[in-house]
Structure formats: C-alpha cells, structure tokens
Amino acid sequence: MSNSSLKQALKDLDTKKISIRELNQDYLKRIKEKENLNIFIHFSEENVLKQIDNLEKDNSTKKLKGIPIAIKDLFCTKSMPTTAASKILENFNPTYESFVTQKLLDEGSIFVGKTNLDEFAMGSATNTSFFGNTINPLSKENEPLAPGGSSGGSAAAVAADLCLGATGTDTGGSIRQPASFCGIVGIKPTYGLCSRWGIAAFASSLDQAGIFSHNVEDASILLQSIAGFDKRDSTSAKIDIPNYFENLDDDLNGKTVGIPKEYSIDGTPLEISQIWEDAIKVLEKKGVKIKNISLPHTKYALPTYYIIAPAEASSNLARYDGVKYGFRSEEIDSLDEMYENTRAQGFGREVKRRILIGTYVLSAGYYDAYYLKAQKVRKLIADDFNKAFKECDFIVTPTAPSAAFPLNEKQNDPIKMYLNDVFTVPASLAGLPGISIPFGKDKNNLPLGIQILGKHFDEQAVLNAALSLERSYE
C-alpha cells in the first residue's frame, strides 16, 4: 500500500511530478488487484478513463483536479447506477446528481466507483448488502473481518488505498465506526452542513454526508469541498463555511476537553479503555485541561435511536413501490399484490425488520408511547450535550466498543448488532460533528479509533483536536 495523502498528490500534480493519468492508473491497478474484497458495487475502468480524458482537455484550475474519489452507493450519480445496496434499486440510473457529488465533480475529482454499504445504510458490518459482504482490507488470509458499516465499502476503499478519499453517510455511526474498523479517518459533520439532496434517505432527521480519508489534513480539504448551503434541502444550513484546511492548528494549549463518565460501559474491552486513557494523557501533555463531564441520558440513546430511525425509515422507504423506478415483482395480479410482492422481494431482511418496527411505533395507539416518547428523550440527550459544551471545547471518547470483528459474527441478534453504535449514536441524535481517528491497536494488531465530538458547526475544533492527536501518535 502506498498510503500517500491527497495533499501530497495535489502537490505532485501541481509540480508535474506526476500526471493525472499516471496517478489514476496506479489506483486503477490496485482496484483490479483487490477485486476479491468486494469493495465496489459499480466499477468501470472505461468510465474512469473517460473522466481522465475529459480532465486532460480541461485547462481550468480546479481544487481537486484529477484526485481519485470513491462514492458510497447511496449518493445519486448521473454517470453511474445507484443501488443503495438494495435489490429494489437494482438497475436504477439517476437522472440527477446529488449535491455532494456535484460539488466534487465541479472541483475536478475523478469518481473511481460506487462503494458497497449495508442495504439503505442499515447495518454496522456491510453485511446486509444485496451485493454481498465487503471484506476489511486489514483481514488476514482466511480470516475475513467486517469493515464496519454502513459505509464499509468507502472505508475499505481508503484503507486499501484504492482512492485518496471517499464519501460516506452517517445516521448513527456509519462513517465513524467503519473508519475505526479500517484504521482511517472518518468525519461526520454537523447535521445540516452538507446537503442531503440526492442521497437515498434513511432517517432524514439524522442522515448526514461526510468524508473518509488517510489523514486529518485530507479530511479538512475534502470536507470543505462538500459543505455548503443548498436550497433543495430544507434543513441545509445557511452559514459561511470556514477554510478548514487553512485554519488547521494543532496547538491545543488552554483548551478544555470533556470526558463523559457515562462512556465507561461495563464489558468494554480493556484495550478500548486503555487507548481512551492514552488519548487523554496525550492531550494533558499538550496543555489541554481535562474536565470530567456527565451526559446522564447516554444509556437511553440507543433505544431512542432504534425508535426514531426505523420510524423515519418506514416513511422514507414507502416510495419504493415498483411504480416509479427500480425493481418490480413479476407477480402483479392487482395493484396491492404488486406493492406487497415488490417490497417483499426487493427489500432484505434487516430493511424489512426496520420498516415493520417503524410502522408499528408510528401506528395508531402506539405513536405517543414510542415515537413521541423517543423524541422527548432525544431532547434530553441533546440538552445534556448543550450543558456539557458550556464547560468544554470538545469531547473525547472511544469510537466503537471493539476492533473489527469477524464477518458474520453478529448477525443473528439484532440488539447485539445495534450495540456497535453505542458511542456514536448520542452525537447523531444531538446533530453534533464527530470524527474518528486511528489511535492504538488491540492485541491482534487491529486498529482502534478515538472519537472527538464538537459543538454544532464547530468542525474546526474537532479537526484541530484530531490533528493534534494524530501528530502525537504518528
């Protein structure tokens, strides 16, 4: 693996040390070598070569000109099919481009392919995909590991050095957890920073686009490129986007870090507690004040999430009815038969489970007891963070309760699978920005991740703290 950085590649392209074609051919070669990892749902060498041809004819200066980027197959792209890893969107060719991918195209980046994910982003191991598991590139031979999920394909693509950055989406941890499992950087920005336009919706009050990269500097460059106001997303924030990269500053002297005691959870492996302590020690050495904080409703975040997210999903996924796009069942004696068979055959098990639970908690007689109750607890969780951020500049926690686990290990018990998101879901419910950076290894030499959370729209503080920790670790 070359593990070169995007920043370095931009420099090499600028000084003509390497051409766009040479750079991308190097990546194309590796993509073909790593086909067995099942990272891409859609990959076409011809398509990549066409993009290279077009850029070579283009004389304008562009910020990401010629940079190979992988796109989670949840973003609508005009030049490639979009499946959301579901049979129900097999052969769907969007007639429009998502906001985020359009921004990346405008900056001259090259899309190497569409990456695998859990079906409709519902999962934590990229094992609910209709197109099969993705294998974590850090796996040893014959011991395939999960890359995490739902954006497991994008995380694996960066980790296997098949691109210089990738897009992901994070609803309850779907960027941060796979970043941790694959030993790379993953940032989920504040809810509203990046437009949701053109992203297949899962849970609209939580879905947020973000970035995977080899390092924090690259994350800041790419985040800059995909952020911004979009009138087609009613929750898109109309704020000025700072220059994250220019403003990077690893000097944390005088800052305060919050350490939430509720994130010490029984049963967390010792190695995870150890890297958390190590990170705190590093920060202390850098002149950061350590503040013990309390987020008292933390333990209720997961059950809250698993009411709200399925409820929103059941509503969002109502659109897949076999009429307008995608798969339609052959058994269509009546209109209702068509709907019921199309959805029965088109959706996978986990997606159906969430639609059913979501439909139940929204149904007459149960709405107040489940959905409304969850929205109220969500308010308390968000308030916990608001209070905590009066006393600290950022919060540091582990990203996930384990390193990458063997493929298929956690499939049978849904609740056990949901526990993967225990450290990432609270910030999602509160709409806060969070990053995961590699920090330490477990006994099997697999990477572990540290999560840094910030105030709404304070991505800069998150990136600065991440940079500082990254530099101390390298």
* Catalytic sites, residue numbers: 72, 150, 174
* Beta-strand relationship, 110-115 and 68-72: parallel
Please tell me whether residue 376 binds another protein under the rule CB under 8 A: yes
Please tell me whether residue 315 binds another protein under the rule CB under 8 A: no
Nearby residues of 114 by Cβ (< 8 Å), 6 or more positions away? 40, 41, 42, 43, 70, 71, 72, 73, 77, 80, 81, 82, 83
x/- binding map, residues 131-170, to another protein, per CB under 8 A?
A: ----------------------------------------
Please tell me whether residue 248 binds another protein under the rule CB under 8 A: no
Please tell me whether residue 262 binds another protein under the rule CB under 8 A: no
From residue 446, give the alpha-carbon distance in Å to each of 128, 155, 390, 404, 410: 23, 15, 36, 7, 18
Using an 8 Å Cβ cutoff, are 378 and 156 in contact?
no
Please tell me whether residue 360 binds another protein under the rule CB under 8 A: yes
> Quick one: which segment of 68-76, 170-178, 251-259, 330-338 binds another protein (CB under 8 A)?
330-338
| Member of 211, 338, 403, 461 binding another protein (CB under 8 A) | 338
Select 92 or 473, whichever has its Cβ closest to another protein.
92
Please tell me whether residue 341 binds another protein under the rule CB under 8 A: yes
CA angle 410, 212, 210 (to 5 degrees): 95
Which residues in 158-177 are b (16+ Cβ under 10 Å) and which e?
A: bbbbbbbbbbbbbbbbbbbb
- Start-to-end C-alpha separation, the chain: 17
> Quick one: which segment of 38-46, 140-148, 217-225, 299-307 binds another protein (CB under 8 A)?
299-307
Select 131 or 389, whichever has its Cβ closest to another protein.
389
Sequence letter at residue 436: S
Q: Of all helices (H) and strands (E), which one includes residue 254? A: none
x/- binding map, residues 176-215, to another protein, per CB under 8 A?
A: --------------xxx------------x----------
| Member of 280, 325, 411, 442 binding another protein (CB under 8 A) | 325
Please tell me whether residue 240 binds another protein under the rule CB under 8 A: no
Kindly state the tokens that stand for 177: 């957890």
Sequence letter at residue 190: T
Q: Of all helices (H) and strands (E), which one includes residue 397? A: strand 394-398
Select 5 or 341, whichever has its Cβ closest to another protein.
341
Long-range contacts, 452-455 (Cβ 8 Å, 24+): 452/394, 452/395, 452/396, 453/385, 453/394, 453/395, 453/396, 453/397, 453/427, 454/393, 454/394, 454/395, 455/389, 455/393, 455/394
Please tell me whether residue 373 binds another protein under the rule CB under 8 A: yes
Please tell me whether residue 238 binds another protein under the rule CB under 8 A: yes
Select 177 or 428, whichever has its Cβ closest to another protein.
428
Please tell me whether residue 300 binds another protein under the rule CB under 8 A: yes
Please tell me whether residue 43 binds another protein under the rule CB under 8 A: no
| Member of 357, 403, 404, 466 binding another protein (CB under 8 A) | 357
| Member of 239, 248, 280, 290 binding another protein (CB under 8 A) | 239
Question: Cα separation of 305 and 297, whole Å?
Answer: 13
Please tell me whether residue 326 binds another protein under the rule CB under 8 A: yes
Rounded to 10 deg, the angle between the 270-285 and 459-473 helix axes is 100
Please tell me whether residue 92 binds another protein under the rule CB under 8 A: yes
Shortest spacing between CB 448 and another protein, in angstroms: 27
Select 170 or 321, whichever has its Cβ closest to another protein.
321
Neighbour order of strands in the sheet with 434-441: 40-42, 110-115, 68-72, 165-170, 208-213, 185-188, 434-441, 447-453, 394-398, 256-260, 289-293
Select 52 or 313, whichever has its Cβ closest to another protein.
313
List residues near another protein by CB under 8 A: 92-93, 95, 190-192, 205, 231, 234-235, 237-239, 297, 299-300, 303-304, 306-307, 314, 321-328, 332-341, 343-344, 347, 352-353, 355-357, 359-360, 363, 370, 372-380, 382, 414-415, 429-431, 456-457
